[in-house]
Structure 1
């Protein structure tokens, strides 16, 4: 019995020893290189597979030096290595000691590997949600080493031009979020988005009709880039240089370093650009048949510098802290000339003078952002997000206008202006999302926004060699606005049918004051903004969505500021401190169809807007004064169609068409403004992949004319072309573009009244651009477009 017991104990100890040995953690290291030229292969995939079960137990990727380190507790395993464009390799023979150094492992190029991955790998798909569409990034994109811009360009309804301008359903001004929150990485004005690579992106959410969760102020739509949680390692960056004519010169550098706990990002750029504009106007006095005609070229030359610094700190798997800041400085110079001629009833020039402008301005600006995100353990979508944003913009500007007679002697006096402007903005937000189950989700939160603006503006006239203040145009304008909002939404989403209801409440407290005359305007109003969305999935690739939202468009600062511009003192623009906000009810039904080679969105919409803001002209002493006014209502019903089609791999065609019929009703100063009209626009885009890694892009645009409350605006057509050359597997990109090839983007407006008429003409002209970008790290080079 004792012998049997000893044998049993010995067996138990022996098995325990083997079990403990099997649980010992082993570390495998090595370096992956190209078999042909011995170059290191960064971001190759290394997988540990257990021999007995064939299960992949763990894995990693190589760093920028081709090195890797991975740990496992498996007793008997093999190492599998793969990299895009190379033959896979399996390493089986090595000593199973605690530290295993595989040394230098070579991979041989495989010309057919790319095609195999595209065919056999997981393809990108579109998933329909209640109030959004989700583009899931598959291995057909994430394995190609592309950048975030290339991923966006594959999303239905989204277009990215060669210069990096992002549009959604043909509309620019798209808000871009990273993981549901604003980020300097998503700032389209910088190159920071270029540091995000395709294999970091899990999905992109497309929101064309935002729910009550988002601010009620209007937007062209939202793109939310969701990053993979496991993609926290790597160093990415790009350097860009641009030049062009008219002057458009810039350099930019973007860097992004991701570790297990930190994501550091920075972007800085500097440049100089010039924006000339040819202008012409005719003021006709129909009572005495006299005219004032002006024409000239206005310039806006800018030298700029900006730097952005920020970091995401991953406290643990459930808590993230983000801190970022941006500082920029702009120096403006506006040398412009305008010729003003005065004609009598017989159309004879009686006098003429040249108005020469010399304007300089210094514009400092900064922004900072602090965000805290908490994810709960029960569900990755159960999230609490707090964010605060502060910004400042200043302008110290002075102008001098010199009037030199060229015909006759009737020139207006010389003038000077001085502007001291500042704007402080603060935003505090709290958002909470709780998915109670796979079908039911609750969202709630609050936001508080503060806008504090001051604009001290002075005009001086030269009289008897002395500068005398023009009291009618000199004043200090103070603007303070506070918006407090609360929202709640509830959603049910089944396999085919879903509904989402929401309500947002916003209180607006606005105060404007002209300190010189003590004219004060106080507005305090509370509004409710409901939203309702429902969707029905006809199939995996076809869906119907129905949405309703109520929106607000508050008056912009410059629409409220009564002293605005005297660049041409016979065409003066002024603000209106009594301006009220517009309110709009938006109804939309959309059919979404995703085919193998094409996607199509078709929407029928109706928009009912009250207190519509229109720019109204008044005429006094041949001076045209334009001010924004609230005039009546607008009912607009329209059709929007946009689609993307890839007949063959090398050609992508996209188009956006929008037609709307509107009915206006309103009165102003006993004048009836009831009328109706229509307006339509068309945008066609083609992208062609040429041999030798060249990409060609052609874009054509047309915007029709339309009637206004006092006249009409003419239509115009224009075209852009761009070509891009990829070098060294996309690490370097050279691009050249021509905007407005035929210099046909001409804006003309007409005002027809019983006692006067006004004609305005403006043209920017043709722009040539040339840029080069080089990237290092995972992604392809992204272009820094030279924007401010």
Structure 2
């Protein structure tokens, strides 16, 4: 309750500041409002421009744009005006010599399509754009040259504020506690990082980056939300796209989208197949120390990987228009992949004086088979009042991942050869049901309420054998059950230049973590309130400021909980912690956006406080393998983590043929807490994790149209160094480039791209544990990639403007726009 009061006080202070900053503004002007829609479909037109001019004078004296619901609200001085309403590819609507002496609602203004302009318009869905808003950034993938032939991971790594490390872990503004949604729903994949590498980039329409979600969204994700919107055909008639790609290292792909839309239904499908090789490498050089921090021995461990994978990703769906106000959509998604990985690990062992001792080699022959099926259903009922609707969603899925490995271990000192086999069988089922109700109240207020039930069950069967004999220290069956029932409500309103959105979400969580192999059962039940508050002030028709607050949760799952894990290295072992508790985050964000004719500037200052934050500790297990200590890495709940930072994003178009996007993020991370454990000698050891670290991240993207209509796109990224309690990560620079050319009368597009031009995208780490070890490591998940792709469109010209599609939860509809 104290936190809610603090937030409300902050909102009142913020409101007062802006109120006093605008003396007398309301008394000298009148307010002109209305709504702009497409004449045929009655769909609202966002970003339509309204311009006020004095009669016989073409110079604008006032103006503005429509919001997501097509509405506008503009202040002008009383007088007589010519009013022009415009939207790209539509005929303008001119209102001549309109006398305006008091606040007036112009009503609904309809715009007709202009067939002549339509031929000149580049379809927004075919172009890469970054739509910057105060509460989120919407990245339309479209014809992004960088990701042709790539995957979802490649797409995310090209988005402002988002970065993907070499292992596929996604972070938002430097925070890895991110919730990844697909079409507004949690992914049904067991390993989300692997799943993002299976979905082809060409299947994505756009990605929403929501740094501080409202109560309407799932409370999971202390760092924010990423919502991946997949393509769904929506053009009238039969149309589609086919994309073929080839690359080096081996990367063959074929994908396509097809849809047929009539008055009563819309059939759509996306199909994709890929055959890839993702070779990688890594090394770790470790010096082992005594209590005086003197070197006792050293190990230089190197690793090479050949990750071969073949995958199919497909969906099929039908949207049925029951009547003008009701639609029902059903779809089935199916993913299947198989892979082989030869993992070669070589350990060169050295004596204290640096002389070579012996070589130990481990060859892991790994295989994997993954399969998932998901059924989705969506029902939308729209009522007479604009914006009044009921939405019901259901998602039911099953997934299975099977990984096995045959490990050969050779020691040149003893010429001893050992053989281990591992089997990791994971099964998951997820059922999700949700209902959302939106009720507009008056002209500028809106009430929302809803329910969401998320029911997840995962079973991980991990087995390790040596010459047919089970190794119990690595063998276990972990069962994870999660039941989360949530209710939410929020209310938004707008008065004068202020927009307010207040919400409250309640989640009841019931978690079971069962180790069936050791009969260790752990149940955790907790329920929590998650308040949110958003306040926006329109400084002008082209600039706005905001302040927002939300409370979030991060639940541990999968690898973090499993105390029995892989055996890829016998001296560096990761062990999960089944006693991990969820981490809770209070997030505060101050935002500002300003638009000029050729430039959009967006900046924010953010503050996060996380209790029971996850931290990873390395410690000596006490086990010795041929004289080498076995080091264990394990997660635990840290006391408190404070994160503060600021970022800004720029969209700049200096010329029609040149577009620039830039993003910069600086953050400070402070951890307070310690880890206590009993070492192999029975002594209690306390590891101090009090630490303050700063880091920064920047990315710039340039797109230039060369002669002969050749597009050239380049981006460069730098992740700054960052300290932690047991070492530091070093700075990394990487760059990509791409070219494309339209052919076959713009029905086809030929693209060429190079990912990681300098082959420099790696994870660089330094670790120091006094009296134990010091190490340096480099890890490269995938070497430089070169791709060539060809896109062909049939019955879907590149310059055809698509109608706005229906939106599901997480797609932005229902958020109060004012």
TM-score norm. by structure 1 comes to: 0.76
- SS of the residue corresponding to residue 290 of structure 1 reads strand
Q: Does residue 286 of the first structure (1) align with residue 289 of the second (2)?
A: yes
**Counterpart secondary structure, 1:692:** helix
Provide, for residues 381-434 of structure 1, a one-character-per-residue CA deviation record: whole Å limited to 9, x for no partner: 1111111101221122221011234x3226562211112211111111011110
**1:692 aligned residue:** 708
Map of 1:139 onto structure 2? 89
Identify the residue that residue 13 of structure 1 maps to in structure 2: none
Contact (CA 8 Å) 2:198, 2:311: kept in 1 or not?
Answer: no
The superposition leaves residues 158-190 of structure 1 with CA deviations (integer Å, 9 ceiling, x where unpaired) of 554424425553326796887x88999xx9975
Structure 1 or 2, whichever has the larger Rg, is: 1
Deviation sequence 1:570-614 (CA, Å, 0-9, x none): 111121111111111111111101111010001111111111111
Which among 674, 682, 686 is matched to residue 698 of structure 2?
682
Q: Tell me how far apart the structure 1 counterparts of residues 365 and 725 of structure 2 sit (CA, whole Å).
A: 35
Query: Secondary structure of the residue that 2:353 maps to in structure 1?
Result: coil
2:129 paired residue number? 153
Instruction: Give, in whole Å, the separation in 2 of the partners of 1:330 and 1:237.
Output: 25
Q: Which residue of 2 aligns with 1:775?
A: 793
C-alpha separation in 1, matches of 2:459 and 2:764: 33
The answer as to whether partners of 2:410 and 2:418 remain within 8 angstroms in 1 is no
Mapped contact 1:337–1:355 kept (Cα < 8 A): yes
Aligned to 2:645: 638
Please say if 1:425 is aligned against 2:430. Answer: yes
Instruction: State how 1:475-554 maps to structure 2 within 5 Å.
Output: 475-554=476-555
Q: Which residue of 2 aligns with 1:311?
A: 318
Q: Does 1:752 align with 2:768?
A: yes
Residue 169 and residue 396 in structure 1: after superposition, are their counterparts in 2 closer, same or farther (change >3 A)? closer
Cα distance, 1:193–1:387 mapped onto 2, change above 3 Å = farther
Q: Distance in 2 between matches of 1:228 and 1:769?
A: 25
Return the alpha-carbon distance in structure 1 between the equivalents of residues 418 and 327 of structure 2: 61
Label 1:143 to 1:188 Cα distance change in 2 as closer, same or farther (>3 A): farther
Q: Is the 8 A contact 2:342 2:365 kept in 1?
A: yes
Q: Cα gap change, 1:508/1:222 in structure 2, threshold over 3 Å: closer, same or farther?
A: same
TM-superposed CA distance for 1:281, in Å, is: 1.3
Alignment deviations for residues 219-265 of structure 1 (CA, whole Å, 9 cap, x no partner):
65467989999x76222201111111111111112101111111111
For 1:331 and 1:224, the matched residues in 2 are separated by 24
Specify whether residues 397 and 629 from structure 1 end up closer, same or farther in structure 2 by C-alpha distance, changes over 3 A only: same
Q: CA distance change for structure 1 residues 181 and 616 in 2, over 3 Å: closer, same or farther?
A: closer
1:399 paired to 2:405? yes
Contact 1:190 1:267 in 2 (8 A): no
Task: Return closer, same or farther for 1:154/1:777 CA change in 2, 3 Å cut-off.
Answer: farther
3-state SS, counterpart of residue 413 of structure 1? strand
Larger deviation: 333-342 or 317-326?
A: 333-342
Matched, 1:582 2:583: yes
Q: Tell me the residue number matched to 1:388.
A: 394
Q: Is the 8 A contact 2:748 2:792 kept in 1?
A: yes
Match among 766, 776, 783 for residue 784 of structure 2: 766
User: Residues 144 and 222 of structure 1: is their aligned pair in 2 closer, same or farther, counting only changes over 3 Å?
Assistant: farther
* 483-492 vs 141-150, greater mean Cα deviation: 141-150
CA distance in 2, matches of 1:384, 1:780: 35
Structure 2 unpaired stretches of 5+ = 1-37, 42-62, 70-85, 91-116, 148-154, 164-169, 171-178, 189-195, 677-685, 801-818
Alpha-carbon RMSD: 3.2
Equivalent residue of 1:735, what SS?
strand
Q: Corresponding residue for 1:171?
A: 162
Equivalent-residue separation in structure 1 for 2:397 and 2:549 (angstroms): 33
- Aligned pair partner of 2:145 in 159, 162, 166: 162
User: Against the structure 1 CA distance between its residues 205 and 350, is the aligned structure 2 distance closer, same or farther, given a 3 Å change threshold?
Assistant: closer
In 2, distance between residues paired with 1:626 and 1:696? 44
1:365, distance to aligned residue in structure 2 (A) = 1.2
Q: Distance in 2 between matches of 1:429 and 1:471?
A: 42
Q: Is the 8 A contact 1:336 1:358 kept in 2?
A: yes
8 Å CA contact 2:326–2:380 kept in 1: the answer is yes
- Looking at structure 1, the residues matched to 180 and 704 of structure 2 have their Cα atoms a distance apart, in angstroms, of 28
Structure 1 residue 671: deviation in Å? Answer: 2.5
Rounded to whole Å, the distance in 2 between the matches of 1:336 and 1:603 is: 43
Are residues 124 and 734 of structure 1, via their aligned partners in 2, closer, same or farther at CA, if it must alter by over 3 Å?
farther
In the aligned structure 2, how far is the partner of 1:313 from the partner of 1:330?
Answer: 31
Partner of 1:344: 351
Residues 163 and 205 of structure 1, relative CA distance in 2, 3 Å threshold: closer
Query: 1:335: which partner in 2?
Result: 342
- Counterpart selection for 2:213 from 210, 213, 219: 210
Match of 2:249 in 1: 246
Report the CA distance between 1:128 and its aligned residue: 8.3
Secondary structure at 1:235's aligned position in 2? Answer: strand
Q: Deviations over 1:695-740 (max 9, x none)?
A: 1111010001111121111111111111111123432111111111
Matched ranges for 1:22-61 at <5 A: none
State the distance in 2 between where 1:226 and 1:439 align.
Answer: 31
**Equivalent residue, structure 2, for 1:277:** 280
* Alpha carbons of structure 1 residues 195 and 263: separation in structure 2 relative to 1, 3 Å: farther
The answer as to whether partners of 1:145 and 1:778 remain within 8 angstroms in 2 is no
Gaps of 5+ in 1: 1-56, 61-122, 130-135, 783-788
Task: Look up the SS of the partner of 1:751 in the other structure.
Answer: strand
Query: Does the 8 A contact of 2:663 with 2:699 survive in 1?
Result: yes
Contact 1:458 1:475 in 2 (8 A): yes
2:4 matched residue in structure 1: none
Asked if 1 retains the 8 angstrom alpha-carbon contact of 2:474 and 2:564, the reply is yes
Question: Segments of 4+ in structure 1 off by > 3 A?
Answer: 57-60, 123-129, 140-152, 156-161, 166-169, 172-178, 180-184, 187-196, 204-208, 219-229
| 8 A Cα contact 2:232 2:268, kept in partner | no
Deviation at 1:633, TM superposition (A): 1.1
Q: Displacement of 1:781 after TM fit?
A: 10
Partner Cα distance (1:286, 1:58) in 2: 76
Find the residue that maps to 2:473 and give its secondary structure: coil
In structure 1, how many angstroms separate the alpha carbons of the residues matched to 2:503 and 2:304? 50
Residues 245 and 519 of structure 1, relative CA distance in 2, 3 Å threshold: same
The offset of 1:371, in angstroms, is: 1.0
State the match for 2:612 in structure 1: 611
Query: CA offset at residue 437 of structure 1?
Result: 1.5
Cα contact 2:372–2:398 (8 A) shared by 1: yes
Aligned to 1:45: none
Number of corresponding residues: 643
Corresponding residue number in structure 2 for 1:233? 236
Which of 261, 264, 270 pairs up with 2:264? 261
**How far did 1:743 drift?**
0.9
Asked if the contact 2:408/2:417 (under 8 Å) is kept, the reply is no
- Shift in Å at residue 549 of structure 1? 0.9
CA 1:126–1:675 in structure 2 vs 1: closer, same or farther (change >3 Å)?
A: farther
Q: CA offset at residue 774 of structure 1?
A: 0.4
The yes-or-no answer on 1:446 pairing with 2:447 is: no
